[in-house]
Chains A and B, each alone.
Chain A
Amino acid sequence: MTNTEELVKQLINKHGIHRNSLLPVMQGVVKEESYLSDEAMIEIARGLDLSAADVYGTASFYSFLYTEYKGKNIIRICKTITCKMKGKHKIVEAIEDHLKIKKGETTRNGKFTIMEANCLGWCHKGPVMLVNDDVYPEVEAEKVVEILESYC
């Protein structure tokens, strides 16, 4: 059994063979493997007795369920107007400079992907950045490199 097969099996055991388990199972795969590979989606479809197209169709709806390869660490910067007003572009530039990639891209070593996101719910403390589940409100461009280093 490949690692992915093993992982999907474990997740389905934990959440149960039921359509309602689809999101938690996909979230579990993304947590471990950072995205849903074709293999993972086919495995999930088999395990939950759904069509692979249905699994893909559901995954593709959600911005946190990636169906394409992503870095180990996902950086999300809020792009809503209030964070814009607080200078979120400086944060994006600092990260792009440091990682040598643009928004939406993944570093060659597979460690980071940069993305922009809609309102992250920290408008009083913009600009805000999420790295995986960790939140960095009122993040400063000078501190960004240091923060990212802690994920290396």
Chain B
Amino acid sequence: MKSKEFKRVDLIFDCDGCQPIDVVKKALKMSRDQVIKSVIDSGLRGRGGAGFPTGVKWKFAKEEESDVKYVICNADEGEPGTFKDREILDIVPNKVLSGMAICAYAIGSKEGIIYLRGEYNFLLKPLNQTIDIFNNSLSKIGLDFAIKIISGSGAYICGEETALFESMEGKRGEPRNKPPYPTKAGYNGKPTVINNVETLVYTSMIINIGTKEFVKLGTSDSRGSKVFSVSGDTPKAGIHELELGLNVADFVAEFGDGDTKAVQVGGASGFCVPRKHFKETIIGFEGIPTGGSMMVFNSTRSMYNVLNDYLEFFEEESCGQCTPCRVGTQQLMKGINAVKTGEKSSDYLDQLLRLTETMKIASKCGLGQSVANSFSSIVTNFREEMIY
């Protein structure tokens, strides 16, 4: 498959285009079905990682009969290497709120909640002020919808949508079984749309610039642009909005330090791409999807340390509810350590790879299921670094 050329985009942070509240007004002039159709036709897929088509999610929620429905903004951003949601909420909070309001209108919801990770509590004050003004503007234009914030308490797993509901309901943040999906029974058991911060901004931008403009960007599988959080061995660390569908080689040409050995696409739960695969790997749903985390490593870095760091993260953040994930993460950490110190032979790595396959099948949620991604891509591509 051919990749797109490297192209910068400025939809998310651009503030000259219009007032976010005017975009809500524009949506209110459309029918609810038209709003949903625009989002479906735009091809927009969730920016929080899983990539579910946003318009379809809204449609499911609209079709549910219920007096109470919720719109939730997932601002639990905890994937190592991601910081774009914080930046969006800091710089263009009104755009996020407008996306929530548009969704509320489309599905028929009166209550919106931003679940903000506790690590971002310093945003509470400014954000609450912005929300007060925005809620006021909404009532002035006649939309019966109000937004509030609920704070997290330092648990990565609460970014998983059903764990997030549990947490908001005052319980341990343990993921639920699915189905039922949130659009049927989410927060408080009511139909709920939960979207990532960035997804919500794009919905508002789609209403603003129109579906036709939006679909000019990206590929058939990955429409539009995306905000990338770039960190590691790069002279250009920070937030960059790029058209989707580019390949890792072009990304490295722009962001590498001339000595890039690997790029971890999608954070600890994503994949490690070694230099030899840069050219053929597309960043997007046809290749490697990412919530935005792009960690760049140069040849001075030990990939063993990188993997060990990710495993430690998973081991600490596993909710512990299911055995494959709870025990699996511990065994993987012990295992690579045993190989490194020579206590086990290098063949043991193959046994560990099989364990990650089991975890993928037997774990209940995305955390346990995705440990295999970084583990197998690092162990397979940097096997010698795991042993010597």
A and B: bona fide binding partners: yes
Interface residues of A (CB under 8 A from B): 18-24, 26-27, 57-58, 61-65, 80-82, 84-85, 117-126, 130, 133-135
Determine if A20 and B170 form an interchain contact, defined as CB atoms under 8 angstroms apart.
yes
Determine if B295 and A61 form an interchain contact, defined as CB atoms under 8 angstroms apart.
no
Can you show 14 pairs from A to B with CB atoms below 8 A apart?
A22-B171, A61-B155, A61-B174, A81-B295, A81-B309, A81-B310, A85-B301, A118-B156, A118-B316, A121-B83, A121-B86, A121-B117, A123-B82, A124-B231
Determine if B122 and A80 form an interchain contact, defined as CB atoms under 8 angstroms apart.
no
CA A109 to CA B313, docked complex, whole Å:
32
Partner of B77, one of A61, A63, A121: A121
Q: Is the C-beta of B229 less than 8 angstroms from some C-beta in chain A?
A: yes
Per CB-CB distance, the 5 closest pairs between chain A and chain B, nearest first, are A22-B170, A123-B231, A124-B237, A62-B153, A64-B154
Determine if B229 and A124 form an interchain contact, defined as CB atoms under 8 angstroms apart.
yes
Name B's interface SS: mixed
CA A122 to CA B305, docked complex, whole Å:
20
Q: Is the C-beta of B350 less than 8 angstroms from some C-beta in chain A?
A: no
Determine if A82 and B81 form an interchain contact, defined as CB atoms under 8 angstroms apart.
yes
Determine if B170 and A123 form an interchain contact, defined as CB atoms under 8 angstroms apart.
no
Q: Is the C-beta of B169 less than 8 angstroms from some C-beta in chain A?
A: yes
Contacting residues, chain A, for B317 (C-beta < 8 A): 118
Q: Is the C-beta of B274 less than 8 angstroms from some C-beta in chain A?
A: no
> In this complex, what residue of B is CB-closest to A135?
B122
Chain B nearest CB from A86 CB (Å) reads 9
Determine if B155 and A62 form an interchain contact, defined as CB atoms under 8 angstroms apart.
yes
Partner of B170, one of A19, A120, A130: A19
Q: Using a Cβ–Cβ cut-off of 8 Å, how many residues does chain B contribute to the interface with A?
A: 51
- Kindly supply a per-residue 1/0 record for chain B positions 138-180, scoring 1 wherever the CB is within 8 Å of any chain A CB and 0 otherwise: 0000000000001111111000000000011111111000000
Known: A120-B119, A124-B230, A133-B121. A24 touches B83 (CB 8 A): no
Determine if B229 and A63 form an interchain contact, defined as CB atoms under 8 angstroms apart.
no
Determine if A58 and B77 form an interchain contact, defined as CB atoms under 8 angstroms apart.
no
Known: A20-B170, A21-B170, A80-B309. A119 touches B80 (CB 8 A): yes
Contacting residues, chain A, for B155 (C-beta < 8 A): 61-63
Known: A85-B233, A121-B82. A80 touches B153 (CB 8 A): no
Q: Is the C-beta of B15 less than 8 angstroms from some C-beta in chain A?
A: no
> In this complex, what residue of B is CB-closest to A48?
B170
Known: A80-B309, A82-B231. A133 touches B172 (CB 8 A): no
CA A26 to CA B174, docked complex, whole Å:
18
Determine if B172 and A58 form an interchain contact, defined as CB atoms under 8 angstroms apart.
yes
CA A124 to CA B173, docked complex, whole Å:
28
CA A20 to CA B172, docked complex, whole Å:
12
Determine if A126 and B231 form an interchain contact, defined as CB atoms under 8 angstroms apart.
yes
CA A58 to CA B154, docked complex, whole Å:
13
> In this complex, what residue of B is CB-closest to A65?
B153
Contacting residues, chain A, for B316 (C-beta < 8 A): 118
